[in-house]
Structure 1
Amino acid sequence: MSTPLGIIVFILFYAIWVNILLPGSWLSMFAGLVYGSLLGSIFVFIGAFLGAITTFVLVRTFLRHWINKRLDSFPKLQLIVQSITSEGLKLIILTRLSPAFPFGLLNLGYALTKVSFKDFTIGLVAIFPGTLLYCSLGSLAGEISKFDSIISNSSQFNFLTLIGTFSTALALFLVLRSVRNSSQSSS
């Protein structure tokens, strides 16, 4: 698995994993176990990046028009889509930092909006802290007995949890504020 071919296979497998909307936390921890924290994080990031871009392009190209036609009968959902588009990069970064929003579904959701490809791509950088956390936990798997003490005493874990919680709250605030402003201006 640590051969160049094994690394390429892992990255491609991770990209496919992301495309079929499966959660990447366990696969990220596996990468940490096999490759270590830093290399595992790099390989996971590359795989997640490739998978996210693939999902975004495929959905934008083949499904966006069809899905958006179905959403036309739901004005509240249209307001949310407009809000996401108007908040752009800052919302993408906040939702990527938050553990509350599933990675695969975000890729799908952003492809349905008018968020630019550039903002979507730049926003992917925000997955790196969570990737590093999961890969670091995976690298410790050889010593399972240490998991509990590391999670409970880890300033890195606590800091990333705080960032995730703050990002979730701020992302929800931005969307709700934008929806409220949009609905008031359309009244």
Structure 2
Amino acid sequence: MATDKMPSGVLPDTGASKGKKEKIRKLCLGLVLVGLIIYVIVDYSVPSLGNVNIVLSDFLAWVEDNPIEGVFAFACVYMFCTVAFIPGSLLTLGAGLVFGRALGIGRGVALGSFAVILGASIGAIIAFILGRYVLQDTAQVLFNKFKIMRAVDKAIESQGLKLCLLLRLSPVVPFNAFNYIMGLTAISLKDYTIGCLGIIPGTVAYVFIGSSASGIGDMKGNDEEQNDNTKDADGEESSSDNDTVFLIVIIVGAIATVIAVFLISWYAKKALNRILNEVELEENQDGKDLENCEGKLDEKKSNKDNVEPSKS
């Protein structure tokens, strides 16, 4: 009967050839991403093109009319990117931008965060299963790159859930790589899945920043509209004051969010180091105890050998 656990320990080193293939794959993926980013920037900047702007406007309108469907559509895209090793930071900011513009900052942050967490978690679970049962060689190459995972692997069986949460809160290993690497450890699928909750603080922070940028952009757009219309001086002054307050709230909120995430990450890393140090001390103590036992056995054997000749 199959089980969702795998014995602790890792596969032998895969060699230089597989490492070379991994570099080529990453290079190709990087070139595709760079090309895509350049295309988006050029298309968005040149008025005569505007394909990206048209698609974005249509998508925003669709999300505004269909927020639930929009959440699941975005989650599917994020899930694919997670499994395919496509970095999700820009996509997370994009969730805040898209849902913030379509639904406002409040609902935008809530639904954008949910979409990212849902897509990232499902993608992380798929990558974990692939790393454990299908792409073990790829996972092994990644494992060898991060020395901290050797210490984590020794402690994961007894403290799997706690370590997984701490590693999510303090991402010392990149998110996409971590998903595959964990497939090589002894952590259960249940603990790994619950550990995905550790991505919540960072996700909400990124989505909020993206949504804040969207709010500032909308505010500038409203200012331009007001300048085109003729209004009395009192109306203009009141609107300007409201915009200033709104801008201050967004900036303060963004700074507070970043500080909060930094502190959470710092405390998580501190707790992680403490656990790993405890495991190392226990191993050293076990080694000393074993040496002492072996020494006592050797001493008893030596005494026995000395006693037997004297009896004869």
Q: Same fold (TM over 0.5)?
A: yes
Residue of structure 1 equivalent to 2:270:
169
- Counterparts of 1:67 and 1:14, CA distance in 2: 20
The amino acid of 2:273's aligned partner reads L
Is 2:134 aligned against 1:33?
no
Is 2:257 aligned against 1:156?
yes
Residue of structure 1 equivalent to 2:120:
48
- Structure 1 or 2, whichever has the larger Rg, is 2
Q: How many Å apart are 1:127 and its aligned residue? A: 0.9
Higher RCO by CA contacts (8 Å cutoff, separation 6 or greater): 1
Q: How many Å apart are 1:125 and its aligned residue? A: 1.1
**Contact 2:201/2:261, CA 8 A, preserved across alignment:** yes
The amino acid of 1:19's aligned partner reads V
Moved more, 170-179 or 58-67: 58-67
Describe how 1:95-174 pairs up with structure 2 within 5 A. Answer: 95-142=167-214, 143=216, 150=251, 154-174=255-275
Residue ranges of structure 1 left out of the alignment (5+ in a row): none
**Contact 1:84/1:175, CA 8 A, preserved across alignment:** no
Q: How many Å apart are 1:64 and its aligned residue? A: 4.0
Q: How many Å apart are 1:107 and its aligned residue? A: 1.1
Partner deviation per Cα, 1:5-50 (whole Å, 9 max, x = no partner): 5543321111111112333221101001111211100000110011
Describe how 1:67-86 pairs up with structure 2 within 5 A. Answer: 80-86=152-158
Secondary structure at the aligned position of 1:140 is classed as: helix
Taking every aligned residue pair, what percent have the same amino acid on both sides? 33
* Number of residue pairs aligned between Structure 1 and Structure 2: 180
Is 2:74 aligned against 1:21?
no
**Contact 2:92/2:206, CA 8 A, preserved across alignment:** yes
C-alpha RMSD over aligned residues: 2.9
Partner deviation per Cα, 1:131-175 (whole Å, 9 max, x = no partner): 11100000012327969x827973332122101111112212312
Per the alignment, do residues 5 and 77 of structure 1 end up closer, same or farther by CA in structure 2, a change over 3 Å counting? closer
- Counterparts of 2:131 and 2:262, CA distance in 1: 31
| Equivalent of 2:282 in 176, 181, 187 | 181
Residue of structure 2 equivalent to 1:10:
74
The amino acid of 1:47's aligned partner reads G
The amino acid of 1:105's aligned partner reads A
**Contact 1:79/1:182, CA 8 A, preserved across alignment:** no
- Counterparts of 1:84 and 1:31, CA distance in 2: 33
